[in-house]
Amino acid sequence: MPKERILVVEDEADIRELIQYNLQREGFEVLMVGTGEEALSTATQERPDLILLDLMLPGMNGLDVCRSLKSNPALANIPILIVSARGEETDVVTGLELGADDYLTKPFSPRVLVARARAVLRRRTTESQEPTDGVPTAVSIHGLRINPRKHEAHLFDSALNLTATEFRILHFLAKSPGWVFTRQQIVETVHGDDYPVTERSIDVQIAGLRKKLGESSDYIETVRGIGYRMKE
Ligand code: CA
């Protein structure tokens, strides 16, 4: 199997070295660039399997790079893992809504870096293998069984009495455990017809869901400043 190639966009030399060393040690091929402009030209020429994108870059910033990649049909499929500093949550939210797959906050451990990179690459492979007949798939996780065909959700042996919107949110989060979604992403996915869904109302819906999940409510995690995710 050919090595998977990761394009690393990072302007700080010591962080670049740390990332390069750890990814290479795990068997990835690493392409390094220090500016957004170089990121776009290298992505176009090399078509990497994953882009690790720092947000704070000299010149063109990471969000502009993300926007530019996602609006180019030839490059839009390349997964992006955003690297941000603490306090840049708003930018992370924007990046995820532009189509980035996940994010890492500096400082991060090499172990977390490698795990996230692997997870993004793995998710891409699984998604491309999913059946495309448009029927949403059933999900089982943490004792939850969610069957969208029958519109039924069970927690262990009890049927959960969920509203249509709660059901869609739960199914959406449970399909991708470990992945954080912004409120706006959840709104776009569930756009309920029984309830006008807004970003603020997502918090209300989640609170309602947690109540119905009782002792299992912790499986829906709040990611401060970003949104929500189903525990992995
Ligand atoms: Ca930087």
Tokens of 156: 């262990």
21 C-alpha to ligand 1 centroid (Å):
18
Please check whether residues 101 and 67 belong to one and the same domain.
yes
41 C-alpha to ligand 1 centroid (Å):
19
Residue 134 lies in a domain: no
50 C-alpha to ligand 1 centroid (Å):
18
Task: Give the mean pLDDT of 46-75.
Answer: 95
197 C-alpha to ligand 1 centroid (Å):
36
Residue 133 lies in a domain: no
Q: List Cα–Cα distances, 101 to 6, 36, 81, 105, 216, in angstroms.
A: 14, 18, 6, 14, 26
Please check whether residues 168 and 193 belong to one and the same domain.
yes
User: What does DSSP say about strands 227-230 and 181-182: parallel, antiparallel, or unpaired?
Assistant: antiparallel
Residues with Cβ within 8 Å of residue 11, at least 6 apart in sequence: 34, 35, 54, 56, 57, 58
Residue 37 lies in a domain: yes
Among residues 128, 200, 2, 18, which one has the least CA distance to residue 10? 18
85 C-alpha to ligand 1 centroid (Å):
8
**Domain end residue (candidates: 66, 95, 128):** 128
Domain hosting residue 19, numbered range: 5-128
139 C-alpha to ligand 1 centroid (Å):
39
Lowest mean pLDDT among 27-36, 125-134, 138-147: 125-134
**What band does 16 get if pLDDT is binned at 50, 70 and 90?**
very high
Provide the edge-to-edge strand list for the sheet that holds 29-33. 29-33, 5-9, 50-54, 80-84, 102-105
User: What does DSSP say about strands 181-182 and 220-223: parallel, antiparallel, or unpaired?
Assistant: unpaired
Please check whether residues 157 and 124 belong to one and the same domain.
no
CATH number at residue 102: 3.40.50.2300
Task: Give the mean pLDDT of 104-127.
Answer: 86
* pTM of this structure: 0.77
92 C-alpha to ligand 1 centroid (Å):
14
Q: What is the model's pLDDT at position 2?
A: 76
**What band does 228 get if pLDDT is binned at 50, 70 and 90?**
very high
Tokens of 141: 């996780």
CATH number at residue 174: 1.10.10.10
Residue 119 lies in a domain: yes
115 C-alpha to ligand 1 centroid (Å):
21
pLDDT, averaged across the chain: 90
Please check whether residues 53 and 155 belong to one and the same domain.
no
217 C-alpha to ligand 1 centroid (Å):
37
**Domain end residue (candidates: 128, 148, 171):** 128
Give me the number of domains the chain comprises.
2
**What band does 49 get if pLDDT is binned at 50, 70 and 90?**
very high
**Domain end residue (candidates: 128, 163, 178):** 128
Please check whether residues 118 and 225 belong to one and the same domain.
no
Q: What is the model's pLDDT at position 198?
A: 83
Task: Give the mean pLDDT of 48-69.
Answer: 96
Q: What is the model's pLDDT at position 196?
A: 66
Residue 60 lies in a domain: yes
Residue 33 lies in a domain: yes
45 C-alpha to ligand 1 centroid (Å):
23
Residue 9 lies in a domain: yes
How many Å separate Cα 39 from the centre of its chain? 21
Please check whether residues 22 and 63 belong to one and the same domain.
yes
**What band does 188 get if pLDDT is binned at 50, 70 and 90?**
confident
